[in-house]
Amino acid sequence: MSHIRHLVHADSDALATAAARAAVEHLTERIATAGRASLSLTGGSVGVKTAAALADSTVEWEKVTIFFGDERFVPADHPERNDGQLDEALLDALGDRPTVRRWPARTEDLVDVDVAAARFLESLDVPAGDEPLFDVTILGMGPEGHIDSIFPHTPAVAETERLVVGVRDCPKPPPERLTFTLPAVRRSRHILVVAAGEGKAEAVAEGIGGASPSDWPVAGAVGTESTTYHLDVGAASALN
């Protein structure tokens, strides 16, 4: 696993720009090496801002597959779906250039979140062994340290084998979600955690300090090659 480092920026705009720049560098390097690259995006205010900062980049998007770290299990046109926010911030501007892997939406024929999770996992071309699933993963973070829809002391954070799970009784609405798990997140070459505000400071310190992922899920997000926290001054305020 990679060493964890952090970079402090003046504000959320600056950190989003810096994180996007880092993502572009990693994607470009991987495309040059392997011919293709994969990117996992995140929702949340700073995550969406980071995605928007990617819109004018020079990435060869036709060689990129884009995933979403998690999704709310609601109908496709529901305003709370992450992919709708990320469409507006980035994907609409990219058109059909990247391959976009969207999570299943709730429909009249698909109402069980566990079935939806299983179907999505079956549709993935999962690399053999421990080979990375993602070249770059961008993660937002809640004040309690949740990433994607992996919350403290829940079945999702305790998952050690499955790469995708359905979430029920989520601590934040809506209650049903689909998420990649920590075993999937850790199969990322490069992880970029983006966080702003003093309300995130404790979680940042616990994550960087190596706390138990059961208590602070972000602590379990460690890439195989690099792990970098992009923070504003407030989010970094509890670091020594």
The secondary structure of the chain as a DSSP string is: -PPEEEEEESSHHHHHHHHHHHHHHHHHHHHHHHS-EEEEE--SHHHHHHHHHTTT----GGGEEEEESEEESS-TT-TT-HHHHHIIIIIHHHTTSSEE-PPPPP-SS---HHHHHHHHHHHS-PPSTT--SEEEEEE---TT--BTTB-TTSHHHH-SS-SEEEE-S-SSSSS-EEEE-HHHHTTEEEEEEEE-SGGGHHHHHHHHHT--TTT-GGGG---SSEEEEEEETTTTTT--
- Tell me the per-residue pLDDT of 190-220, one tens digit each, with 9 for 90 and over: 999 999 999 999 999 999 999 999 999 999 9
| Mean pLDDT within 129-149 | 96
The pLDDT of residue 131 is above 70? yes
- Tell me the per-residue pLDDT of 53-110, one tens digit each, with 9 for 90 and over: 999 899 999 999 999 999 999 999 999 999 999 999 999 999 999 999 999 999 999 9
Q: How confident is the model at residue 130 (pLDDT cuts 50, 70, 90)?
A: confident
Q: Quote the percentage of the chain above a pLDDT of 70.
A: 99
| Mean pLDDT within 33-49 | 96
Phi first, then psi: give them for residue 128, nearest 5 degrees. Answer: -70, 155
pLDDT score at 1: 55
Q: Could you give the count of Cα atoms lying within 13 Å of 237 in the half-sphere of its Cβ?
A: 12
In a domain, 151, yes or no: yes
Report the mean per-residue pLDDT for the chain. Answer: 96
pLDDT score at 33: 97
Q: Are strands 99-100 and 70-72 parallel, antiparallel or unpaired?
A: unpaired
Residue whose C-alpha is closest to residue 207's, from 164, 238, 169: 238
The pLDDT of residue 50 is above 80? yes
Tell me how many domains the chain contains: 1
In a domain, 42, yes or no: yes
Q: What CATH number should be reported for the domain holding residue 181? A: 3.40.50.1360
8 Å CB contact between 145 and 217: yes
In a domain, 110, yes or no: yes
In a domain, 240, yes or no: no
8 Å CB contact between 45 and 200: no
pLDDT score at 28: 98
In a domain, 135, yes or no: yes
Distance between CA 200 and CA 196 in Å, rounded? 7
In a domain, 143, yes or no: yes
Distance between CA 236 and CA 209 in Å, rounded? 12
- Tell me the per-residue pLDDT of 17-29, one tens digit each, with 9 for 90 and over: 999 999 999 999 9
Distance between CA 191 and CA 180 in Å, rounded? 14
Which comes out higher in pLDDT, residue 128 or 115?
115
Print the domain residue range for 203.
4-232
pTM above 0.85, yes or no: yes
